[in-house]
Amino acid sequence: MFLQIVVAYDYMASGSNQYGQLGLNLQDAQISKFTKQTSFFDSDIIKITAGSTHALAVVDSGKLYVWGNNNKMQLATDVESQYSKPIVVQYFVDNSIKISQADGGIQHSIALGTNGKVYTWGNNNYGQLGRSIDNTDAKSDKTPGIVDPKVYGNEIVKQIAAQNHSTYILTTAGHLYAFGSCMQGSCSQRSTAGQVVFDGKIDRFFVGELSLFVEDDQGQVFASGANLHSQLCFSVDDNDKMNYQMQLKKIPVMGVDHIDAGETHTLLIQGTSVLGCGLNTDWQMGPIVGTFKAPTLIFEHVGLRSAAACQDGSLFLIGDEFSVIGSSMNGELGLPVNSVKQERVQVPLSMKYLTEVICRKTFSIVYSQHEKQKQGLNAWAISGIVIGSILAVLIIAFFIGWGYISYNKKQHYKKFVSAGTAEAQVETW
């Protein structure tokens, strides 16, 4: 065999497992070491996201898997109150719907189908589902329901997200729509139709525990939400309100690759650099204790791939190395509970091709995202292919030439015979 393709699928998790949100099929209430998951998915992972106590995985087959807390049917079933291993959302399978994006809030979930439709389910106590439901008494719905396109201006959906009791939909027109509780300005100022007020075209957005960051088509970044600790990357004194920013406000950074915001601190990836804003009293961003009121360089590394903000700590993927810093309150850093690291330390993981790390207040997940290792051809194999190809061409050319010559000989013979016969007939006559 000249070419071998090996699918590399890996998943590890650490932290609180009170509701089975680690997805490891373990009953331990807490795990303070990154533990590998037995394969529960039918194909490669495309993207994993997480709510407060549940998680979702979109896989290459288009199926959506969910696990963790199900107290408000955020896992799209009412059979069990929690699931410690991933289960497929059967509604989408039964209706032949493939999923391209998904996310979760505190008690609700959202998904985008390849058909362009948006589906929501779970708790609707604050209108976060963006639609009415039949089960008005419980105010929760186990069945994924379609969000009326009128909610997002009948436009084509580009990106979706959920956080806390809020839901977000971004369209290709550059309009962002938000609905739900939207506490402390986490949805910014909205029109009566639910559209986030913004003078420009939004290219993409990032949501934090109580914050919203948007990037426009010029690469400028704006933020709103909780800012008591300057986690929005500007001074508290510049807030619209005492502790939070109500309208999207421009922050002093351009062209970010990713933003991950925890409750009190924010990480911004910009090329090979990690910048930080907000509270740093637990060394969650490095050894300099205090508050970062503007984007501050934490470190630079050529192999930087992903970063995540936890409650009082941070996680980083650098090449195939995984490192952590700060306080591991619930074991979410893969360190003993309540242990503290004032500088980045490497945590060994028994996995390859690390792609992304995500973290919530109490737990974190590291996984490989649809990665494939291709085993290259060695010199002998390449030589064999080249020589074989040349021989094949020569053989084909030989047979084509031989056929051409044979054909011409036959035609010449026919003409010769025909001419001889005619001559004989003349002589006989």
Which pLDDT band, with edges at 50, 70 and 90, does 366 fall under?
very high
Three-class SS of residue 215? strand
Distance of alpha carbon 75 from alpha carbon 90, whole angstroms: 10
What pLDDT does 398 receive? 61
Contacts for 10 with CB less than 8 Å, ≥ 6 apart = 36, 351, 352, 353, 354, 367, 368
Residue matched to tokens 């993927």: 317
What pLDDT does 427 receive? 35
324-345 burial code (b ≥16 CB/10 A, e <16): bbbbbbbbbbbbeeeebbeebe
> Would you list the domain boundaries of the chain?
4-375, 380-429
Q: What is the pLDDT of residues 171-189, one digit of tens each?
A: 999 999 999 999 999 999 9
Q: What is the pLDDT of residues 242-289, one digit of tens each?
A: 899 999 999 999 999 999 999 999 999 999 999 999 999 999 999 999
Q: What is the pLDDT of residues 301-312, one digit of tens each?
A: 999 999 999 999
Distance of alpha carbon 241 from alpha carbon 245, whole angstroms: 6
Do residues 5 and 372 make contact, with C-beta atoms less than 8 angstroms apart?
A: yes
4-375 carries CATH number 2.130.10.30: yes
What pLDDT does 35 receive? 96
Q: What is the pLDDT of residues 78-116, one digit of tens each?
A: 999 999 999 999 999 999 999 999 999 999 999 999 999
Which pLDDT band, with edges at 50, 70 and 90, does 139 fall under?
confident
Q: What percent of the chain has pLDDT over 90?
A: 76
Nearest to 143 by CA among 109, 101, 179: 109
What is the chain's percent helix, strand, coil content, to nearest 5?
15, 45, 40
In single-letter form, the type of residue at position 9 comes to Y
Distance of alpha carbon 224 from alpha carbon 239, whole angstroms: 9
Burial label for 219, CB within 10 Å (0-12, 13-18, 19+), is: exposed
Which pLDDT band, with edges at 50, 70 and 90, does 423 fall under?
very low
Do residues 212 and 205 make contact, with C-beta atoms less than 8 angstroms apart?
A: yes
Which pLDDT band, with edges at 50, 70 and 90, does 201 fall under?
very high
Q: What is the pLDDT of residues 378-408, one digit of tens each?
A: 444 445 555 666 766 666 666 666 555 555 5
Average pLDDT in the chain = 87
Distance of alpha carbon 423 from alpha carbon 385, whole angstroms: 57
Q: What is the pLDDT of residues 221-251, one digit of tens each?
A: 999 999 999 999 999 999 999 899 999 999 9
What pLDDT does 373 receive? 41
pTM of the model: 0.84
Q: Could you tell me which residue, 376 or 121, shows the higher pLDDT?
A: 121
Do residues 328 and 345 make contact, with C-beta atoms less than 8 angstroms apart?
A: no
Q: Could you tell me which residue, 350 or 199, shows the higher pLDDT?
A: 199
Residue 217 has pLDDT above 60, yes or no: yes
Three-class SS of residue 386? helix
What pLDDT does 133 receive? 77
Contacts for 262 with CB less than 8 Å, ≥ 6 apart = 208, 209, 231, 278, 284, 309, 310, 311, 359, 361
